[in-house]
Amino acid sequence: MFIAFSGCNFTEKKEKRNLNSLEKVKKHGKLVAVTDYNSTNYFIYRGEPMGFQYEMLNLFAKHLGVKLEALINNDISKNFEMLNDHSCDIIAINLTITKERSQIIDFTIPHSQTRQVLVQRKPENWEKISSKEIESMLIRNQLDLAGKTIHVQKESSYATRIKSLSDEIGDSIKIVEILDLEVEQLIELVAKGEIEYTIADENVAMVNQTYFPVLDIQTAISFPQNLAWGVRKGDDSLRVEINRWLEKFKSSSEYIFIYNKYFKNQRSLGIYNSDYYTLSSGKISMYDSYIKEFNYIVDWDWRLIASLIYQESKFNPTVESWAGAYGLMQLMPTTAKRYGVDKNSSPKQNIKAGIRFLKWIDSRFVNLGIKDDKERIKFVLASYNVGLGHVLDARRLAEKNGKNPNIWDKNVDEFIIKKSHPRYYSDPVVKFGYCRGEETYKYVLQIIDRYEHYKNFIPED
């Protein structure tokens, strides 16, 4: 037995040595990226994950033909640790390229450029005094930072820049490095008057100035700098592939659109103040309380149910499908009637009825022997979308063709897709005929994927 296990371990280690980073990503079918959560890089708005880094990562993962798994961590030093201990494949944030960091990781070509600016608060009653008076009360010369206290994110390029600036002006600048606050949180503290100064990339500072007009961001403290993604030292295969893709992507109109969407969008303030903006509201939707009230019925994480509701209605209680399904949970009239609701029922009643329907489907699969809760969820979601009968057909087809009827991924899901082909929907074991199984396959994937994003931002309770 020892020899057998040793042989397995040797084979695994040999494979890890022989496969380069790009091959590993493609083999596993997954690109794992760590990014930071803020109003530009990665956030949830109206139930949907969004962000400059997130959209670029999604497009790159699509280019590779793999799934994106997004992790979040706003601690830069932890991001480096995650990269070097193989917890992720890429650090995808606005990483300033520096000599010091180049000793630890390798950088891709720049995805954008910016410069660092001083974030300071305008004087009291700034709206009522002249611009000349305002200017006289603000720091415009870097020499005037002597003796000032500047709060920055720990181990950030901002801290490095201020240390260099202190040497350049020949005087001390007090630097307070904050471990558990991200740059946008420090910007907000300046706006509230809780700290005097911080440093930010100009493009991020400009976005935040739309939220807080009291801020001034006109004083540059650096030359333009390159921002890039980071990969493990020596991960040339992945870095070269990213560079090849970025080179082409950056010259596209799609890149310009995405950049302007997050850094030059005049609607940013509306997003920031919205109840649908998760970073500021702490909510996925205005119906969170109802979902939490009734999720006990099916005993699912409420965030998973929220992802299903987004998939069905995008949280619009008045939407009606071409087939006649209506409400937040898009119940068909006969199903809705079974649970005592109709088109005039409240969103709360519609949610409760939908969750009761989920419970009914769930109980069917419990009786059929699918005991694993996580596995059964996929069967329930598929049945909610296409109907229980079609999923039972797919299970029978799977079993007939040597697959496991109690496992969804790479087993039953293959046959829900095949139920759109005559060879399969005409099979004697099929009782419910043709179905557009590709839609159901994507439906399950999208709900679970969005649920993972919700877990990144919203606590379970």
- What is the residue type of 219? T
pLDDT band at 282 (very low <50, low <70, confident <90, very high): confident
Question: 174 pLDDT exceeds 60?
Answer: yes
Tell me the three state secondary structure of residue 265. coil
Residues 74-100: tens digit of each pLDDT: 888 899 999 999 999 999 999 999 888
Read off the pTM: 0.78
Question: 439 pLDDT exceeds 50?
Answer: yes
**What pLDDT does residue 267 have?**
64
Question: 11 pLDDT exceeds 60?
Answer: no
Tell me what the mean pLDDT of segment 213-217 comes to: 95
Active site residues: 312
**What pLDDT does residue 13 have?**
41
Contact, 215 vs 208, CB < 8 A? Answer: yes
In angstroms, rounded to a whole number, what is the distance separating the alpha carbons of residues 255 and 258? 5
**What pLDDT does residue 249 have?**
97
How much of the chain is helix, strand and coil, in % rounded to 5? 50, 15, 30
Residues 327-368: tens digit of each pLDDT: 999 999 999 999 999 999 999 999 999 999 999 999 999 999
CA neighbours within 13 Å on the CB side: how many for 450? 26
**What pLDDT does residue 307 have?**
96
Q: Using DSSP bridges, classify how beta strands 30-35 and 67-72 pair: parallel, antiparallel or unpaired.
A: parallel
In angstroms, rounded to a whole number, what is the distance separating the alpha carbons of residues 222 and 116? 5
Closest CA to 294 of 344, 339, 326, 334: 339
User: Hunting for tokens 């000349």 — which residue is that?
Assistant: 132
Contact, 231 vs 98, CB < 8 A? Answer: no
- What is the residue type of 397? L
Q: Which of 29-43, 164-178, 287-301: highest mean pLDDT?
A: 287-301
User: What are the tokens at 54?
Assistant: 């997130």
In angstroms, rounded to a whole number, what is the distance separating the alpha carbons of residues 3 and 8? 9
Tell me what the mean pLDDT of segment 401-421 comes to: 96
Tell me what the mean pLDDT of segment 133-144 comes to: 93
The residue among 266 and 412 whose pLDDT is bigger is: 412
Question: 269 pLDDT exceeds 80?
Answer: no
Domains of the chain: 2-113+227-272 (3.40.190.10), 116-222 (3.40.190.10), 288-457 (1.10.530.10)
CA neighbours within 13 Å on the CB side: how many for 137? 16
**What pLDDT does residue 170 have?**
86
Tell me what the mean pLDDT of segment 308-322 comes to: 93
Please give the mean pLDDT across all residues of the chain.
91
User: What are the tokens at 246?
Assistant: 């970025």
In angstroms, rounded to a whole number, what is the distance separating the alpha carbons of residues 66 and 88? 14
What's the alpha-carbon Rg for the chain, to the nearest Å? Answer: 26
CA neighbours within 13 Å on the CB side: how many for 364? 17
- Residues 6+ positions from 334 with CB-CB distance below 8 Å: none
